[in-house]
Amino acid sequence: MKKILCLLLTAALVLCCGACGLQQKPSETPDSTPEGTVEPVPSGQETTAAMQAAGPFSPEGSVIFDKNGVKVTTAGLDIDPTYFEPKPIVWIDIENAGAQEAYLSVTGGSVNGIMTDISVNEYYEEDGEYNGSSEDFGAIVPAGETVRRALAYSRSDAPGIRMDTLDQMEFCFTLAPDEWTAPTYVSEPVAIATGEVFDLPDIAGLGTIVLDNDVMTLVLGEQDYEDWFGPLVYVYIENKSARCIGVFPESSETDGVFCDYLFGGFRVAPGKLAAGMISFDGEARELKSFEALSVTFCMGEAETFIDLDGMDTVTLDPVSVQYPPQVWGEYENGGLRMEIPPKYNELITVEVPENDENGVLFSVSETASLEAGGYEGAGWLFSVCRVSEEKFHELLCFDRSGVDIFAKDGEGNHYLFCHPTDVRYVRATTEEMQRDAEIWTMLGEWADSMKEKLSAANGLEWESFDDSYPAMLVARAAWDKDARCYLATTEFMDVDAKSADGTRFAEYVLSSGFCEIGREELPDEDYLTGENLVLGYPDDNVYLHFHPVDGGYVVLEYDENETIYQCWWNDDDVSVYEAMHGWYYTAAEKSGVKPADKSLAPFLGDWHEKIAGRGVMEIVPSLAPGKVQITAVWPDSAAVLNTWTMTAALTEEGKLVYENGTFESTETDENGENWTIDSDWGVAGELYFSGDGELCWYDAHAEGEGLSTFAR
């Protein structure tokens, strides 16, 4: 799995580094061209007619494209409305007055003179807020309709490149009959200007200039490290020619380790900059850093970006750069390892206490703030702690601001990521505060990434728990010995929540979570008036009403007030309401007010395939009443293993039926690493007993060969 994810991430890196997708050369010229001034080319350089930009146009009210009945009008400047880091976007209205469906996309984009991917995004709205965007990166516009989309762009993640201000956006529109067909038309470049001011960076100060001629300036910047990619090198290119250029790494040598396959590529318009990363394959990927780097690039030139796809390339002479020694921070405490890449290690101070009574293993602070502040806690970024199961449950019961529970090990320990709830950034003067603000921001972003890195590096199991008030009330019902609370429905009398062990139910509910909403966001006034399950704290006059509609809503009632929450859950087949109902049934059975449910008992336990005995299956009770969790493992060979996981519900006919199972087939290579070679989601099937008492399993994924019989 690690190899596959690595390759997927690498492929994403290549796509992000490229400035445009693979398109064909246009076969016709525009019917109409928007009027506008031609943007001057930087440094007084000449450019070809094909690269002259129409505009710049206003981000609101300008017709920027009109071809074959498809007209695009800018509709306003805005901020990306998703949960990602804010950046500007330009809304556009796309009108298709033609007789056929059209697919509109863009290629060859730049923002503020820096090459980047620009896409035509559709943002979708949920619960009254935009919280995501499509992955089509283009607009399908039915004949006779108008749709609103947004011109959004990808940021460059290279140091020294800031893209949170939108000064000018340039790109070419492409038009096709559908999203799978190559474009039949590619426009001249279009420019949109916002009136903001952006100073193009001087790339000469971002690294070592390794090539500087009439065509381009090429700079190798600092190196970095990512867990999946290994060592990375930032590359900056300025196109000084009058043609489009494509520059791609061909081979490299890092500290004597040869690499003939590199990931990364750059397409640069005349007068523009490109910034991105190259990463390495083979033995070079296993390096943590290097001090000597030699890279061979290949390069091609063309009149347009479309022509770059079929260009002839030439191999350039190797370029080399020396780096100072890269000193990693390597720390260990209580069996937990923490590695700090060089760029952060030189800026921080790490404390490694012995046998700390609070379970602190590492405490990390910014050195400059620690020295300037002169007090304990100055510059503190985060601490990593290990606590017992009992302490972990105690934390879940009460407010834990500044404490994230992020992982657990196989010995019952849980790991905390503790961070300040106030700013600990300190410098002696205001000028120094302003000067080093970016360093503090960089360290903060790195610190946020450490939970996942620590979990992966130490083989820990990732976990996350909601810390809302309803979550704390559920936790107290399971683990606070002093809390008096009950569970109730109209089916049976009130039962003491603590009459049954609520651990697995409460942990599931807390790993799902609650999102506060307004009553006006409900479909109608009577939406939450039906049957519900109550978790009550009579001494505090606080009650949680769990409603089953749409998988779960919770109404928090206290005194004469109420707050509504929508429930999220991490298993599509078991809702928060069902988990709480399972807790209630278990408590009712323990209290003797409900007969024990034995309807699932014949299915529970371990099973093996009857004929060859290779396939094995485990069936255990689910958190939800009337449901079971099934795991089936079936080897195809010594190296290939098929695994099914599903939640099945018992029907009135006595069958276990599932619709959202998952299937994965993995192959183990000669190095002992697992590759996913097949997978499927939404797998359906059923289990039932034959007239002879055999357990029969039919799985739709097996396409007609899915009927198998099992025995204990």
Convert 615-635 into a string of H (helix), E (strand) and C (coil): CEEEEEECCCCCEEEEEEEEE
Q: Are residues 457 and 478 part of one domain?
A: no
Q: Are residues 164 and 94 part of one domain?
A: yes
Average the pLDDT over each of 42-56, 186-200, 425-439, 524-538 and give the range with the smallest value.
42-56
Last residue in a domain, options 322, 351, 378:
322
Q: Does residue 11 carry a pLDDT above 70? A: no
Query: In terms of pLDDT, which residue wins out, 208 or 35?
Result: 208
Give the mean model confidence (pLDDT) for residues 48-77: 85
Q: Are residues 523 and 450 part of one domain?
A: no
Query: H or E stretch including 447?
Result: helix 437-457
Q: Are residues 576 and 475 part of one domain?
A: yes
Contact 132, 205 (CB under 8 A): no
For 335-379, what is each residue's pLDDT tens digit? 999 999 998 999 999 999 999 999 999 999 999 999 999 888 999
- Amino acid 47: pLDDT: 38
Backbone angles phi, psi at 211, to 5 degrees: -155, 130
Q: Are residues 177 and 82 part of one domain?
A: yes
Instruction: Measure the CA–CA gap between 154 and 111, rounded to whole angstroms.
Output: 9
Beta-carbon count within 10 A of 227 CB: 15
Give the mean model confidence (pLDDT) for residues 527-544: 93
Average the pLDDT over each of 54-58, 161-165, 186-190, 256-260 and give the range with the smallest value.
161-165
In which domain, by residue range, is 475 found?
Answer: 469-591
Q: How many domains does the chain have?
A: 5
Give the mean model confidence (pLDDT) for residues 668-690: 89
Q: Which tokens sit at 599?
A: 């309807």
Q: Are residues 312 and 348 part of one domain?
A: no
Report yes or no on 294 lying in a domain.
yes
Q: Does residue 13 carry a pLDDT above 70? A: no
Angle subtended at Cα 445 by Cα 440 and Cα 446, rounded to the nearest 5 degrees: 95
Instruction: Measure the CA–CA gap between 513 and 463, rounded to whole angstroms.
Output: 13
- Amino acid 34: pLDDT: 39
Report yes or no on 25 lying in a domain.
no
- Amino acid 2: pLDDT: 32
Report yes or no on 130 lying in a domain.
yes
Contact 397, 459 (CB under 8 A): no
pTM value is: 0.76
Q: Are residues 442 and 363 part of one domain?
A: yes
Residue 502 maps to which CATH number? 3.30.1490
Report yes or no on 542 lying in a domain.
yes
Report yes or no on 485 lying in a domain.
yes
Q: Which tokens sit at 311?
A: 């260009």
Q: Does residue 225 carry a pLDDT above 80? A: yes
Amino acid at 124: Y
For 465-509, what is each residue's pLDDT tens digit? 999 999 999 999 999 999 999 999 988 889 999 999 999 999 999
Report yes or no on 524 lying in a domain.
yes
Query: H or E stretch including 307?
Result: helix 305-308
- Amino acid 31: pLDDT: 39
Q: Are residues 654 and 549 part of one domain?
A: no
- Amino acid 36: pLDDT: 32
Q: Are residues 184 and 51 part of one domain?
A: yes
Q: Does residue 420 carry a pLDDT above 70? A: yes
Q: Are residues 176 and 58 part of one domain?
A: yes
- Amino acid 70: pLDDT: 95
Mean pLDDT across the chain: 87
Q: Are residues 448 and 346 part of one domain?
A: yes
- pLDDT grade for 395, boundaries at 50, 70 and 90: very high
- pLDDT grade for 559, boundaries at 50, 70 and 90: confident
- Amino acid 422: pLDDT: 93
636: helix, coil or strand? coil
DSSP-assigned states of every residue in 454-502: HHHHTTPEE-----SHHHHHHHHHHH-TT---EEE-SSS--EEGGGS--
Q: Are residues 232 and 139 part of one domain?
A: no
7: helix, coil or strand? helix
Instruction: Measure the CA–CA gap between 577 and 567, rounded to whole angstroms.
Output: 8
Q: Does residue 14 carry a pLDDT above 70? A: no
Average the pLDDT over each of 41-55, 226-240, 543-557, 677-691 and give the range with the smallest value.
41-55
